Structure 1
Amino acid sequence: MKGTPATDPDDKPEPFQCSVLRIEPQWIDYNGHLNMAYYNVLFDRATDEFWLELGIGPDYVKTRTGSTFTAECHLRYLREIHLDDPVRVSVLLIAADEKRLHTFEELRHATEGWLSATSENMTVHIDMAARKVAPFPPDIRTRIQAVVGAHSLITRPEGIGRKVAMPSKSR
């Protein structure tokens, strides 16, 4: 899995890269570009691919009654996406503790490489039987910590930790 500790000293860790995603026609709004709601859909699909790598995908819900819920999300729209634009999302696991995952995703044009949007998220682990926040099982926590360690070696992209605020006026 990309993002795990490298076995070859020359290998450098990279964020997880999802498969190439396509924009669906019904996602285009009256402005002729991707409607803001569907950026979340693209980020969510990419995160689902990453969760499979961490062992917390759909089978995890069925076999271990655990899942994740997004607790907070901050999206930045930087450049328009249009119908037929191929896109790819990278996922960086910034930090984790026993119950939470802090991720930063970048949505890029898959062939041209330009940045369209970013999404920073706080995700919580849920015991689905109790429907309450709960610690990750030890084996999953070990896998998550390995990825956090590998991803800590990656240069942090611009935009992590930003907040929504009006620009301050200089006097």
Structure 2
Amino acid sequence: MAHERTASVFFFAPFVSSTMAVEPDWIDYNGHLNMAYYHVLFDRAVDEAFGIVGLGPDYVVERQASYFAAEVHVRYRRELTRDDRVRVTLQLIDFDEKRLHFYSEIRHAQDGWVAASSENMSLHVDATTRRVSSFPDDIMANLAVMKASHARLPRPDDLGRVMSIPCRGRGQNGPVALTAGTRH
């Protein structure tokens, strides 16, 4: 097909976005970046990263397909404030014919500390039917090259985290029996 793209020979591992600034209007009444704008920064970097494999804005127009977020787990680790500059790293963890599983971190551009992490599952969608569909073969090939490059990276510590409130009355080895006279 004329619009198929061949895989790039090289992918950065991890992918590193262009530098982005925290915009003044994004600061909330607590004096730091509002949580919604962490997602904007992640989303801009995702567009950059997957644009390399052929899933950019042209893909939607030319192929009438895209990829949609299905699940996102964000961990806010450190405040960002007005005029901070950041870069986002992205690691493709896995993919199949219809899904992308990837992990990203927003990092302070100058000092390198992690402000937030995001684990994502996205689905490939036929834009005309709005239903999940398979990636074309050329995109699968490009994703395979990206994954092979990223497979050399260590597994992120935040990957697969479960959110919960620890149970009271549990010790390190499971439930603690409470008896008369036990203080808790």
Distance 1:5 1:62 in 2: 25
User: Which residue of structure 1 aligns with residue 104 of structure 2?
Assistant: 105
User: Which residue of structure 1 aligns with residue 25 of structure 2?
Assistant: 26
If the length of structure 2 is used for normalisation, what is the TM-score? 0.85
Unpaired runs of 5+ in structure 2?
Answer: 1-7, 177-184
Deviations 1:136-166 (A, max 9, x none): 0000001001111211111122100101111
Instruction: Tell me the amino acid that sits aligned with residue 139 of structure 1.
Output: D
Q: How many residues are aligned here?
A: 163
User: Which residue of structure 1 aligns with residue 153 of structure 2?
Assistant: 154
Deviation for aligned residue 1:54? 1.1
User: Which residue of structure 2 aligns with residue 119 of structure 1?
Assistant: 118
Distance 1:103 1:129 in 2: 25
Contact 1:56–1:67 at 8 Å: present in 2 too? yes
If the length of structure 1 is used for normalisation, what is the TM-score? 0.91
Deviation for aligned residue 1:167? 2.5
Question: Percent identity among equivalent residues?
Answer: 49
CA-based RMSD of the aligned residues comes to 1.5
Other structure's SS at 2:112 match: coil
Deviation for aligned residue 1:17? 0.4
User: Which residue of structure 2 aligns with residue 46 of structure 1?
Assistant: 45
Distance 1:13 1:42 in 2: 19
Question: Are residues 17 and 128 of structure 1, via their aligned partners in 2, closer, same or farther at CA, if it must alter by over 3 Å?
Answer: same
Deviations 1:33-60 (A, max 9, x none): 0001110010000001012111011000
Contact 1:5–1:150 at 8 Å: present in 2 too? no
Instruction: Tell me the amino acid that sits aligned with residue 40 of structure 1.
Output: H
Contact 1:5–1:149 at 8 Å: present in 2 too? no
1:1-171 superposed matches below 5 A: 14-168=13-167, 169-170=170-171, 171=176
Q: Which has the larger radius of gyration?
A: 2
Moved over 4 A (4+): none
Unpaired runs of 5+ in structure 1?
Answer: 7-11
